[in-house]
Structure formats: structure tokens, C-alpha cells
């Protein structure tokens, strides 16, 4: 590339790496320290005790696994809901694209706590949904699973993170040459087939960005599960918070944080690997123009 | 050359359009077009950019819906029929090959959509062989040159044996030499397949090289529909004469008409003097008209009777020089074997019998 300006990215890249590597290094060091329970202090006595706990106590594996599943489920749902929205947005006239963008991002402008309490009002036993269903005579007793259940957690995780999926897919759809879609239709593809055979493969990069973002955000969310998930709301994040704070077990908290990070990293790597095997994604990333 | 006449359609029509109208915003891209496309012929829609030719093609393919008018293909009205259910295929200007599929998969695309159609391989191979791309099945489109990509696009469009092939300026992105090659191949392919080709171009050389019938369009309307020879010799209007070939156009007024069963001639009063020549339809005595003179019908001459003219521009054309000369306020174009300096006074001899009198407007 004759106009490569890669070096321009160095300062920011350096800041990012240091900002990421230094705290992680600190966590790694903490994780092999021990807690002196009498002095209520962390002492630099090297020990594998915390890591042993992480590996031996199934509660940690369970929590991490639960976070991964939550992330995957939310990302999957967001993809399914997000594609129709993104496709519709790509077909709007220019001005309406701007409007759709603003509307799409509106939830993000309100604080997470505000949104969560709004959901409580909507989904609670005396809430809007139950009141309407009852008023219509469809139910006799309020639907309990609407609030404080895995259903609630994932509904709200989906709602909170959907914009990231829609935006990523939308940009990707915009970049698909409409003539390719016309060519597919011309060659006998019905709209659904044009989607599965041309649009979907060529928008996998956008889908991937959306999946990565929603997966990370949902798997790492603490507030939504703990405030809306009820008894099902335990998360590794809440556990880490607890260990750093109330329990004052920084080594275990550090080890758990690192273990969670490693697992999420592993998942993301796996997803990236799968993605790059898709020919549609390769065609886009290689900038193929015909 | 009666060759064009020999290939003129003896069969019926494959497509009829009646009263087609399509507007974008305030402008009318297609403004009341009636068009019949014969079976087994090579028909070209020719005109400047924005004349509506591509819009007509897109309405036939089903990508645009006419605001008014009807399209009937094979006796079946096309209204409401989506593109995938029309028995026509399109070769796009930009090729529009699927970048994530191999050449083979691109060509097989339409065949693999139909369940129970069997192994597409033999048909894909035949289509690729027909465009001399048989060895490139495993490649991806971006690994091919422009000309090769266009060949693949043609193979992809013919593999399902459409009743009609639509080609939207398919060669315009290629260099001159490759264009010439592919023109010959396309013409050859059309004869072998024996299906109707409808070709859109703004290049009159291309239209002449390929077509049995040329439909000249301007501002959303059809100006003339004829075989290339007729179009060149007897343009229906000054627009057609000017768009096709380097004609000299001399305005005048018809002072007399003479009609026989076979032909019509008119006497035209022009700044160059009185000229008697064959005349286009629809002109009457007293009407303003335009005299069309092709460069080959003028000759630089030293005869005393020659028109006096002054050289304005000289353009080297490889084999000869195109001279633009001014005579009595009219610009005349003539071919010359020798270069002449601008400003030189010359005489011009007009082959009056081969000039043509046509409509001013159109």
C-alpha cells in the first residue's frame, strides 16, 4: 500500500494496550497473593489458593457458564430481531434513515437504572402488561414469569443491546451493492433466497460486529440480571463486586475476573475464527469489487 | 449489404410495450413508448444518457414498475410479475457478479434455486464454454479481468435459457480492443442461441456492429426504429442524423415535393443553394427541414462549380483527416487524404443524390 499511514495509529494503540495490559497485570499479581484475615489485609505471599478455588468450586464455572450462555442467547436473539430492522432501515429514504437512527438510539440516552425500573413497572404483577391482559380477560392471575425471571433478564438485555446489533448490520447492508440483489432476483431468487444467498453472506461482517458487541455487553452485564432476574440474577460480575467489596478477597476476585475474561476471550476468538471461514465475510474484508 | 435485412425477423414478436411511462420526481424518464421486440433478433436501444433506454430495460426485467402502459412478453402481461418469475435475464453494466461465489457457483446460481433440477454441472460447463471461460470455474470474480468478468456475467444470464436476454451497456467499462472482441462474440452468441437480445448502449458504432434493429431514443421517446443501414442513410430527424455518424446539418425550407409510388424527393432551399434529395416522411412543401450530408458524400474539389468553404478544424482520424469547413454560415464535415491548415480556402463537391432531407425536430 503506497499510502500506508499505519504509524499514525501507534500513539492510540499504545495507550489502549497500556490501559488494558497494566490493570490486567495488576489483577494477575493480585490473584496469586493471599489475604491475611486477621489483619484484614492482602499480603504478597505467593499462593495458588485463589486459582485452586476457581477451578475446584463449581459455582465459579457455573456463573461463568451462565454469563456466556446469557451473552450468546442475547446476541442470537438480537441478530434475529436486528436483521429485519436493519434491512428496513437500509430501504428508508435518506431523511428517515436519520430519524430511525435517533429513535433506535433513544433507549441509550436514558440511564440504565431508569430503564430497569421502567421495565419493573411494565412487567410487574400489577404492571402494565398484566393489567392489560387481565382487562382483556385473557388471564385470571398475573403472569409471574414476566418479572424476576431469566425471561425478564434476557428481554431487557436484548432491549438494551439491540441498537448495537442493528447499527452494525445496517451499515453492512448499506454497503451491499443493490445490483447484486437485483442480479439475484433476475436469476430467479425470491426475496427470501436473495437474502439467504446474497445479503446474509455479504453482511456477515456487520453481523459479526453486532454479535461481538452484544455478546460482550450482555455477558458482562450485572445490573439487569441482579435487579430484574430475581433469584436467577446471580452473575460473575456481582460475585466479583462482592469479593472486592464486602468479602475483601481481592485475590479470589482477581482470579475470577481473569478467568471470566479468559473464557469470554476464548468465545470471541472462536466466533472470529468461524466468521473468517465464511466466504461472504472474506469477500467483504478483502474489499473485492467486481 | 443486405445482410441486415436477411437477419430481420421473420418470426413473431416476443415483447410488446404500449404507452410506457415512467417518471422520477419531476422528470419523465420514459414518456409514452410503444415498442415491439421481434423474436430471434438483436435489437438495440440507442440514445444519449438519460434518454430512458435503461429505464425501459429495467421495466422489462421487472426492477421498475411502469407508471402507465403495458408490457406483454410471450403473450403474457408482465404487470405484477416479480423479476424472478420473468423468463428474461439481464447482463448488468457493472457485471454484478457475486463476489463470495466462484465463477462456477455464479453461473450455477439460477439453476441451484430450482429444486429437483438435477446436477447443474453440464449446463454450467456448456454456458461457460459458450463464452470461452470453461477453464475458469474455480476462480473468484475478483481474480478475473473486466472482459473475463463480463463473459461470466453473460454465461450466468444465458445458463437458464431465458426467452430474452437484456444487456445494459455491458461493454462500456472495457477498453476499446476488448470491446471489439466481445461485440463479435455477443453477435455470434445471439445467432447460435437464436433468442432475442435487447441491448442498451449510447455508442452508435456498437449499435451498428451488433444490431438487426436499432431503436433510437431521445428524451424518453422513440425517435426512429430501423435497421442500421436505413438509420444511417435515412435518419428520421436531425437528432438521429447528428447522433449517428458525423453528419453535416444544413437548415433550409422545402420549396417543392415530388412523390412517386417508390420514393419521395423534395427540393430544399438552403444557404448552400437549391438541393434536390430524398425526403423523410411527414414533411410537406413550405416546411422547415434539415439537409443531412455524410462526410463521404462531400469531396474536396477544385471544380469551378464547387461550394466555396474555409477550413476551421482538422482532426486526424488515423486513416484520413476529418475536416470541418464553414460555407455560407454552415458547418460542413468532409474526409480528406491530406491535412489542410485552418483558414485555407477550399472547394467542396456535394453528391446531391445521396444527401437526405429530414425533420428539424424529433
In a domain, B14, yes or no: yes
Rounded to the nearest angstrom, the minimum Cα separation between A178 and chain B is: 9
Q: Domain count of chain B? A: 2
Q: CB contact, 8 Å: A175 with chain B?
A: no
- β-bridge mates for residue B46, sequence order: B201, B216
Best CA proximity match to B159, nearest among B121, B201, B209, B210: B121
- Find out whether A83 and A169 touch, Cβ atoms under 8 Å: yes
- Same domain (yes/no): B21, B146: yes
| pLDDT tens string B208-261 | 999 999 999 999 999 999 999 999 999 999 999 999 888 899 999 999 999 888
**Residue B239 domain-assigned (yes or no):** no
Judged by CB atoms closer than 8 Å, whether chains meet at A283 and B100 is answered as: yes
Say if CB A33 and CB A42 are below 8 A apart: yes
Whether residues B114 and A188 touch (CB distance < 8 A) is answered with yes
* B304 and B329 share one domain: yes
- Calculate mean pLDDT across residues B41-68: 95
A interface mutation test: which of B98, B141, B149 has the most A CBs within 10 A? B98
Q: What is the pLDDT of residue B115?
A: 75
Mean pLDDT for A198-204 is: 95
Residue B219 three-state SS: coil
Report the chain A residue with the minimal C-alpha distance to residue B157: A187
**Same-domain pairing of B201 and B250:** no
Give domain status of residue B173, yes or no: yes
A residues 198..217 contacting B (CB < 8 A)? 198, 201-202
β-strand B221-226 against B213-218: which pairing, if any? antiparallel
Tens digit of pLDDT for each residue in A21-74? Answer: 999 999 999 999 988 777 777 888 888 889 999 999 999 999 999 999 999 999
User: Can you list the pairs that A24-27 forms with residues at least 24 positions away whose Cβ atoms lie under 8 Å?
Assistant: A24/A258, A24/A261, A27/A254, A27/A257, A27/A258
Q: Could you say which architecture CATH assigns to the domain A35-108+163-251+261-285?
A: Orthogonal Bundle (1.10)
To the nearest whole Å, the CA of B97 is away from the closest chain A CA by 6
**A180 closest CA partner among B96, B241, B168:** B96
Q: Quick one: B277 and B220 in the same domain?
A: no
CB contacts < 8 A, A to B, total 83
Note whether B344 and B284 are same-domain residues.
yes
Tell me the pLDDT tens digit for each residue of B186-211: 999 999 999 999 999 999 999 999 99
B226 and B286 assigned to the same domain: no
Per-residue confidence at A195, pLDDT binned at 50, 70, 90? very high
Residue B346 sits in a domain of what CATH number? Answer: 2.40.50.140
pLDDT of residue B189: 93
Contact partners, residue B324, CB within 8 Å, separation at least 6: B311, B312, B313, B314, B315, B331, B332, B333
Q: In which region does residue B124 sit, left (phi positive, over 0), alpha (psi from -120 to 50) or beta (all else)?
A: alpha
Chain B residues with CB under 8 Å of A180 CB are: 96, 98
Give pLDDT tens digits for B286-333: 999 999 999 989 999 888 888 899 999 999 988 899 999 999 999 999
- Same domain for B170 and B31: yes
A231 pLDDT band, cuts 50/70/90, is confident
What confidence tens digit (pLDDT) does each residue in B16-40 have?
999 999 999 888 999 999 999 999 9
Which residues in chain B are contacts of A193 at CB distance < 8 A? 113
Task: Identify the domain containing residue B159 by its residue range.
Answer: 3-233
CB contact under 8 A, B142 and A193: no
Flag whether residue B94 sits within 8 Å of chain A, measured between CB atoms: yes
Q: Is A188 on the interface with B (CB under 8 A)?
A: yes
Residue B75's region, left for phi above 0, alpha for psi from -120 to 50, else beta, is left
Task: Tell me: do B93 and B203 sit in the same domain.
Answer: yes
Domain locations in chain A? Answer: 35-108+163-251+261-285
pLDDT of residue A3: 62
Q: CA-CA distance, A251 to A27, in Å (whole number)?
A: 8
CB contact under 8 A, A288 and B142: yes
Question: Which residues in chain A have their CB less than 8 angstroms from residue B101's CB?
Answer: 279
- For A135, other C-beta atoms within 10 Å of its C-beta total 9
Answer whether residue B240 is part of any domain: no
Other Cβ atoms less than 10 A from the Cβ of B159: the count is 24
Does B118 fall in a domain?
yes
CATH number at residue B44: 3.40.50.300
Query: Is the CB of residue A140 less than 8 Å away from at least one CB of chain B?
Result: no
**What is the band of A212 on the pLDDT scale with cuts at 50, 70, 90?**
very high
Last residue of a domain, one of B233, B259, B274: B233
- In this prediction the ipTM stands at 0.85
Amino acid at each position: 500500500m503506497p499510502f500506508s499511514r499505519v504509524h499514525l495509529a501507534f500513539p492510540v494503540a499504545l495507550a489502549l494496550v497500556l490501559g488494558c495490559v497494566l490493570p490486567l497485570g495488576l489483577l494477575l499479581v493480585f490473584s496469586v497473593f493471599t489475604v491475611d484475615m486477621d489483619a484484614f489485609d492482602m499480603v504478597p505471599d505467593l499462593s495458588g489458593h485463589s486459582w485452586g478455588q476457581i477451578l475446584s468450586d463449581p459455582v465459579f464455572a457455573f456463573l461463568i457458564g451462565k454469563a456466556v450462555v446469557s451473552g450468546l442467547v442475547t446476541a442470537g436473539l438480537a441478530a434475529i430481531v436486528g436483521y429485519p430492522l436493519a434491512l428496513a432501515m437500509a430501504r428508508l429514504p435518506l431523511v428517515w434513515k436519520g430519524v430511525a437512527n435517533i429513535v433506535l438510539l433513544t433507549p441509550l440516552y436514558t440511564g440504565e437504572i431508569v430503564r430497569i425500573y421502567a421495565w419493573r413497572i411494565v412487567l410487574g404483577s400489577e404492571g402494565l402488561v398484566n393489567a392489560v391482559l387481565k382487562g382483556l380477560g385473557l388471564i385470571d392471575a398475573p403472569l409471574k414469569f414476566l418479572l424476576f425471571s431469566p425471561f425478564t433478564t434476557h428481554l431487557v438485555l436484548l432491549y438494551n443491546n439491540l441498537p448495537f446489533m442493528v447499527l452494525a448490520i445496517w451499515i453492512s447492508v448499506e454497503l451491499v451493492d443493490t445490483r447484486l440483489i437485483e442480479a439475484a432476483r433476475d436469476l430467479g431468487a425470491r426475496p427470501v433466497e436473495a437474502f439467504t444467498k446474497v445479503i446474509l453472506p455479504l453482511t456477515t461482517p456487520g453481523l459479526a460486529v453486532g454479535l461481538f458487541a452484544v455478546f460482550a455487553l450482555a455477558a458482562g452485564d450485572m445490573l439487569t440480571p441482579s435487579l430484574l432476574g430475581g433469584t436467577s440474577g446471580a452473575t460473575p460480575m456481582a460475585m466479583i463486586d462482592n469479593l472486592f467489596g464486602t468479602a475483601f478477597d481481592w485475590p479470589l476476585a482477581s482470579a475470577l475476573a481473569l478467568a471470566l475474561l479468559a473464557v469470554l476471550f476464548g468465545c470471541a476468538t472462536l466466533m472470529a475464527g468461524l466468521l473468517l471461514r465464511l466466504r461472504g465475510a472474506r469477500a467483504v474484508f478483502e474489499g473485492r469489487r467486481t | 449489404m443486405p445482410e441486415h435485412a436477411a437477419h430481420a425477423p421473420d418470426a413473431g414478436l416476443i415483447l410488446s410495450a404500449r404507452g410506457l411511462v415512467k417518471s422520477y420526481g419531476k422528470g419523465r424518464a420514459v414518456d409514452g413508448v410503444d415498442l415491439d421486440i421481434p423474436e430471434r433478433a438483436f435489437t438495440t436501444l440507442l440514445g444519449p444518457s438519460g434518454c430512458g433506454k435503461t429505464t425501459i430495460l429495467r421495466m422489462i426485467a421487472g426492477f421498475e414498475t411502469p407508471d402507465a402502459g403495458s408490457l406483454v412478453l410471450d403473450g403474457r402481461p408482465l404487470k405484477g410479475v416479480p423479476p424472478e418469475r420473468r423468463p428474461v435475464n439481464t447482463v448488468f453494466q457493472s457485471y454484478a457478479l457475486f463476489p463470495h461465489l466462484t465463477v462456477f457457483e455464479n453461473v450455477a446460481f439460477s439453476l441451484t434455486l430450482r429444486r429437483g433440477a438435477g446436477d447443474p454441472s453440464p449446463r454450467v460447463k456448456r454456458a461457460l464454454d459458450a463464452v470461452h471461460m470453461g477453464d475458469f470455474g474455480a476462480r473468484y470474480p475478483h481474480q478475473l479481468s473486466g472482459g473475463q468478468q463480463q463473459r461470466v456475467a453473460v454465461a450466468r444470464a444465458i445458463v437458464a435459457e431465458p426467452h430474452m436476454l437484456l444487456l445494459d451497456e455491458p461493454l462500456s467499462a472495457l477498453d476499446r480492443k476488448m470491446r471489439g472482441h466481445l461485440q463479435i462474440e455477443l453477435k455470434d452468441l445471439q445467432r447460435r442461441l437464436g433468442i432475442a437480445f435487447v441491448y442498451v448502449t449510447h455508442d452508435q458504432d456498437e449499435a451498428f456492429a451488433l444490431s438487426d434493429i436499432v431503436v433510437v431514443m431521445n428524451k424518453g421517446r422513440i425517435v426512429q426504429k430501423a435497421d442500421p443501414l436505413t438509420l444511417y442513410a435515412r435518419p428520421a430527424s436531425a437528432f438521429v442524423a447528428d447522433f449517428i455518424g458525423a453528419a453535416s446539418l444544413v437548415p433550409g425550407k422545402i420549396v417543392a415535393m415530388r412523390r412517386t409510388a417508390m420514393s419521395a424527393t423534395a427540393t430544399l432551399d438552403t444557404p448552400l443553394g437549391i438541393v434536390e434529395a430524398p425526403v423523410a416522411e411527414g414533411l410537406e412543401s413550405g416546411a422547415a427541414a434539415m439537409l443531412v450530408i455524410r462526410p463521404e458524400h462531400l469531396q474536396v474539389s477544385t471544380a469551378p462549380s464547387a461550394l466555396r468553404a474555409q477550413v476551421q478544424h482538422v482532426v486526424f482520424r488515423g486513416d484520413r483527416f476529418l475536416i470541418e469547413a464553414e460555407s455560407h454560415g454552415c458547418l460542413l464535415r468532409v474526409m480528406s487524404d491530406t491535412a489542410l491548415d485552418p483558414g485555407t480556402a477550399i472547394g467542396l463537391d456535394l453528391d446531391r443524390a445521396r444527401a437526405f432531407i429530414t425533420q428539424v425536430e424529433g
